[in-house]
């Protein structure tokens, strides 16, 4: 379970302010897969990074109950001069899991074959993405943070990735960012819309998707227009 308490995050550039979190207090339902929605630039990826702890809020706090993943599939933290195998084993040691078991899982799932033992700087972006997803799924977390990860790779790998993710989510929760409504329906039970720095949670995914449809037009849905929070 993840709690946000009085979370504030504002980016300022050239005199303009972009509010990502406007004093948000919210508790994600335990063991539930929640879709995080919002138009481009709303701050979904920044929100995931604050929850993961890689970006700090201006004020407020994120309280994590149980183990929480890094943003699943994030490939930016690989050391380019280390092999895929060495990168995976380094992460395994950080999280206190068996290095050989994690490396074998990642090697088999990523389908990198001999490239697994070559420096990551020699990988294509697709190869890095496959390794990143495999490494993320090798550790069982209580909550997974997922940002468009199963959109990478060919159709076969995407199907394999989603099947693995659904298997992990049988016993874990997730905060899930995707632009695919169909994938949302397959993975998530509920949804939260990030609009103008505020959270709007819906226990029914369809209602959250309906709200998101209004944000694309940069308006609030009719049921919120009278009493919406200040931007």
CB atoms within 10 A of CB 140: 12
pLDDT one-digit tens code per residue, 76-94: 679 999 999 999 999 999 9
Residue 14 has pLDDT above 90, yes or no: no
Distance from C-alpha of 157 to C-alpha of 218, rounded to nearest angstrom: 35
Per the model's pLDDT, the better-predicted residue between 160 and 119 turns out to be 119
pLDDT one-digit tens code per residue, 23-69: 999 999 999 999 999 999 899 999 999 999 999 999 999 999 999 99
- Label residue 73 by pLDDT band (50, 70, 90): low
> Average pLDDT over the chain, rounded to whole?
91
pLDDT one-digit tens code per residue, 174-218: 999 988 899 899 999 999 999 999 999 999 999 999 999 999 888
pLDDT one-digit tens code per residue, 142-156: 999 998 765 566 788
From residue 204, alpha-carbon distances to 42, 118, 174, 216 in Å are 21, 46, 16, 19
> What pLDDT is stored for residue 71 in this prediction?
84
User: What CATH number should be reported for the domain whose range is 1-67+143-231?
Assistant: 3.40.50.300
> What pLDDT is stored for residue 191 in this prediction?
97
Distance from C-alpha of 120 to C-alpha of 84, rounded to nearest angstrom: 6
78 closest CA partner among 96, 90, 61, 69: 90
69: phi then psi, degrees, rounded to nearest 5: -75, 165
Domain definitions of the chain by residue range: 1-67+143-231, 75-140
> What pLDDT is stored for residue 231 in this prediction?
40
> What pLDDT is stored for residue 39 in this prediction?
93
Q: What is the mean pLDDT of residues 114-143?
A: 93
Decide if 86 contacts 94 (C-beta within 8 A): no
How many Å from the N-terminal Cα to the C-terminal Cα in the chain?
27
Distance from C-alpha of 161 to C-alpha of 81, rounded to nearest angstrom: 26
The tokens describing 80, both together, are 């380019």
């Amino acid at each position: 379970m993840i709690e946000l308490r009085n979370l504030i995050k504002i980016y300022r550039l050239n005199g303009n302010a972009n509010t990502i979190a406007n004093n948000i207090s919210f508790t994600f339902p335990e063991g539930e897969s929640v879709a995080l929605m919002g138009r481009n630039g709303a701050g979904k990826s920044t929100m995931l990074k604050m929850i993961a702890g890689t970006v700090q809020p201006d004020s407020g706090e994120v309280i994590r109950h149980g183990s929480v993943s890094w943003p699943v599939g994030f490939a930016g933290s690989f050391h380019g001069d280390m092999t895929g195998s060495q990168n995976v084993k380094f992460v395994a040691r950080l999280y206190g899991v068996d290095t050989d078991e994690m490396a074998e899982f990642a090697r088999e799932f990523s389908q990198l074959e001999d490239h697994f033992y070559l420096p990551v700087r020699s990988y294509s972006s697709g190869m890095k993405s496959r390794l990143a997803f495999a490494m993320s799924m090798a550790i069982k977390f209580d909550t997974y943070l997922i940002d468009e990860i199963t959109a990478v790779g060919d159709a076969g790998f995407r199907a394999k990735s989603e099947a693995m993710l659904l298997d992990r989510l049988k016993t874990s929760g997730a905060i899930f960012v995707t632009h695919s409504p169909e994938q949302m329906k397959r993975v998530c039970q509920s949804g939260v819309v990030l609009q103008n720095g505020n959270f709007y949670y819906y226990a029914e995914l369809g209602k959250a998707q309906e709200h998101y449809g209004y944000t694309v037009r940069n308006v609030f849905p009719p049921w919120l227009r009278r009493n919406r929070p200040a931007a």
